[in-house]
Amino acid sequence: MNFIPFARPEIGEDEIAEVTKVLRSGWLTTGPKTKQFEKDFAAFTGASFAMGVNSATAGLHLALEALGVGEGDKVITTVHTFTATAEIIRYLGAEPIFADIDPVTYCISPDDVERLLKLHGDVKVVIPVHYAGQSCDMDRLLQLRSTYGFRMLEDAAHALPTTFNGKIIGTLSDVTVFSFYANKTITTGEGGMVTTDDEAIAKRIKVMRLHGISKDAFSRFQSTKPSWYYEVIAPGYKYNLTDIASAIGVHQLKKAYDFRDRRQAIVDIYNQGFSELPIICPRQIRDNDLHSWHLYVIQLEEEKLNISRNEFIEQLAAAGVGASVHYIPLHQQPYWKKTFDLKDADFPISTKVSSCHVSLPNFPGMTKDEISFVVSAVKDILNKALK
């Protein structure tokens, strides 16, 4: 058995053929294929507007700016996330306020969000992160939004296709951002999408993603009449999605549910195979909702083992299995820890979870032999490590 990576993108002949068409079309940057991808994505999520961007980080930045966040504003998010979720707050000179997580879902804790809202009062935006593919408790968060009047920006980098109470993520709050990075549930290599039902937010993002210019390049350069004139109406960014990337995305989106079903099948095999081991397997809280299963995250019961989490990952690698950690939380990262005086004791659940959790391979192209090999490797290592 060859080494099984933690993630491997699933690219088919449809994507390859579509990219070839774009390369031959004479239009490579943001153009007709991106417009098609945006239209398809809006229909997929039910959102009024969908805007392609060159990364989810860019999308989060644009969305937060469109919500009016600026110098000194307060924004709540979770420590249990990738740094991009928080760094975009600092891009705008705003103040991040960090919440702990739910001990079962590892999503942001609504109870802790409420505590912070009571403590600070004047929070402008809350950014929940749908962890591993399972939705946050949006009922509680939307109730808090109604009570406290903040805006909500969902980090849905893991959450395609995910539902909450039967409704797909992408239309539940003010604005939602998805990721199409190489290891995500669908990919364009690099890229992301922003969805909203708010026309003012959509207009602002469309302008700011391309230098603050009043017309996009495709409209100007494809016109049969002179259309060279444009106006810079804001100091924008260079965050547009290319047609080459969108060509991949158009076909990846068509496969999103199939990919999810294949990941679900792997999860079912893992859950059965690991049932007798000293680990906590991930739980789906709402059985009638869709969990995208972007990540399969186990938590080692270290008190029953004579190896640490780090040693477990090293032994997996030696056996031929790639693994990862999601995440080393922000309160343990030098910049965030020092700048905002964050301590482990302030985030007891994230601190505990992050010391013993491991993300195992769970990508749709895994073969039966690869799945079986991962199960056998995990069982062999942990059974030998029992106290």
Q: Whose CA is closest to 360, among 234, 266, 223, 292?
A: 266
Q: Whose CA is closest to 110, among 76, 83, 74, 60?
A: 76
The single residue of 184, 206, 225, 337 carrying the catalytic annotation is 184
Structure tokens at 126: 């809350």
DSSP-derived secondary structure for 217-239: HHHHHT-SS------B-S---B-
Class of residue 83 by CB neighbours under 10 A (exposed 0-12, middle 13-18, buried 19+) = middle
Respond yes or no: is residue 203 known to be catalytic.
no
Q: Alpha-carbon dihedral of residues 295, 301, 305, 306, nearest 10 degrees? A: 80
What distance in Å separates the CA atoms of residue 350 and residue 131, rounded to the nearest whole number? 12
Q: Whose CA is closest to 292, among 311, 267, 273?
A: 267
For the chain, the 3-state helix, strand and coil shares in percent, each to the nearest 5, are 40, 15, 40
User: Does residue 327 have a cis peptide bond before it, meaning omega lies within 30 degrees of 0?
Assistant: yes
Give Cα 100 to chain centroid, integer Å.
18
- 96, 135, 252, 291 from 141: Cα distances, Å: 18, 11, 31, 19
Active site residues: 184
